[in-house]
A = this chain, B = another copy of it.
Amino acid sequence: MNRTPPLDFTATCPVQAAPGDRVRLAHGGGGALMHRLIERLFLPAFANPALEARHDGAVLEVDAGRIAFTTDTFVVRPLFFPGGDIGSLAVNGTVNDLAMCGARPLWLSAGFVLEEGFPLADLERIVRSMREAAAAAGVALVTGDTKVVEAGKGDGVFVNTAGIGRVETALEIAPRAVRPGDAVIVSGDIGRHGLAVLAAREEIAFATTLESDCAPLARPVLAMLEAGIEVHCLRDLTRGGLAAALIEIAEAAGVAIELDEAAIPVSEPVRGASELLGLDPLYIANEGRFVAILPESEAERAQAVLARAGCAEAARIGRVQACAGGVTLRTVIGSRRPLDLPSGEQLPRIC
C-alpha cells in the first residue's frame, strides 16, 4: 500500500474569514458559496493529490492484505476545551479506532454539518486544528463533504471522520482473541478528557488546570506490534471510560476480568475533581488512553515498550479469568465490587 506523497503542512492556510463572516445555507447548497468554501478553506488546508483531483471520492493504491475501516461522528460541546477541540478530537478519535485494530492509520474522510450562522473564523480554527492533528498522526485527509442546516437545527458544527488503515500484523486483535490468564494494561492515567470538557462546558474552575488527554495512539500500538508482542485485544477508553470498555470486552469474549483499583493510574487533579462532582474516574471518557490485553508472560516487556513510545505511566491493572462474569474491581480496602455498564446519562456529548 503506497502512501500518497507527504502533505505540505508548512503552507499557510490562505483563508481570510473576516471576524463577522458566518455560515449561510448556501455554503451547503452545491453552488458558488460552497465552491468557494472548498477552494479557499478545505483544499489548501488538507492539500494532497487525492483531494486535488476534485472528484466524488479519492482513489488510493493498496497492497494485498488487511485494511481497517472505521467511523465516528463528533458532537462535543463546547467545541473548544483545554487540551483540544472538535477538530483534533475528530482526527485522533478515528486514528485511535484504527490503531485499536492493530492498523497503521493512512487516510481519513471528513464530513461537516454546519449550523447556519456559525462563525467562519471558528470553522477555520477547527480546520487548522484538524490539519495539525492529521500531520501529527501521519494521516492524509483525502475526501470530504459539507452540509449546512438552518439555525436551531444543529449546534455549531458536527464532524464525522471515517478512516482507513493498513493492518501490519498477522495477529487477530479482537475480543474473541482474549484468553484466561491474560494481563490487562492501561496506557496512562485516566479521566482527564471527560473532566476537561465538563469543566469547560459548565464553567467549573478547578484548582489546577485539567487538560484533555486527546492524542493519537498509533505510535505506542505499532511499537508493541513491531516488538513482536502477542497483543490479543486493544480498546481505546472513550464513552463509558475504562469500565465500559472492559465490560464490553469481557462480554464479547465470554470471560471475567479482575481489576486492581490501587494499580489504576488516576492523577491527583482528576481524583479531586471527580470527588467534588461525585463522578467515578473509571467511567469518565478519555481520548488518548487505551487498554491492551496480552499474555501475562509478555506484560513486563509490553510496559517497557509502551514507556519508550511515550506512555510512561502505562500500568498493569488486572487479569483475565476463565469464568464468564463481567468485570470486578478489587478495591484499595480489599473488598470486591462488580462493575456495571453505566446508563450513559452521566456525561453526554464529551466526544
Give residues in A with beta carbon < 8 Å to B: 24-35, 53-75, 96-98, 100-101, 103, 107, 109-113, 142-145, 147-150, 152-155, 158, 160, 162-165, 167, 173-176, 234-236, 238-241, 244, 248, 252, 285, 340-349, 351
Is the pair A72, B111 in contact by a Cβ cutoff of 8 Å?
Answer: yes
Is the pair A174, B55 in contact by a Cβ cutoff of 8 Å?
Answer: yes
- Report whether over half of chain A's contact residues are helix, strand or loop; otherwise say mixed: mixed
CB distance from A220 to the nearest CB of B (A): 15
Task: Note all chain B residues with C-beta closer than 8 A to A176.
Answer: 53
Is the pair A143, B56 in contact by a Cβ cutoff of 8 Å?
Answer: no
CB distance from A164 to the nearest CB of B (A): 6
For A31, A34, A285, A348, which residue has the most chain B Cβ atoms within 10 angstroms? Answer: A31
Is the pair A57, B103 in contact by a Cβ cutoff of 8 Å?
Answer: yes
A-B contact pairs, 23 of them (CB 8 A): A25-B345, A26-B345, A28-B344, A29-B343, A30-B244, A30-B342, A31-B240, A31-B345, A32-B340, A35-B248, A54-B252, A55-B173, A56-B96, A56-B98, A57-B97, A57-B98, A59-B103, A59-B174, A61-B66, A69-B107, A71-B109, A73-B147, A111-B111
Is the pair A62, B66 in contact by a Cβ cutoff of 8 Å?
Answer: yes
Contact check: which of B34, B53, B71 meets A160 at CB < 8 Å?
Answer: B71
Task: Note all chain B residues with C-beta closer than 8 A to A101.
Answer: 55-59
Q: How far is the CA of A344 from the CA of B27 in the complex (A)?
A: 7
Contact check: which of B27, B65, B113 meets A113 at CB < 8 Å?
Answer: B113
Is the pair B25, A348 in contact by a Cβ cutoff of 8 Å?
Answer: yes
CB distance from A98 to the nearest CB of B (A): 6
Q: Nearest 10 A-B pairs (CB), nearest first? A: A30-B239, A29-B344, A31-B344, A57-B70, A30-B240, A162-B162, A71-B109, A26-B344, A31-B342, A160-B160
Task: Note all chain B residues with C-beta closer than 8 A to A60.
Answer: 66-69
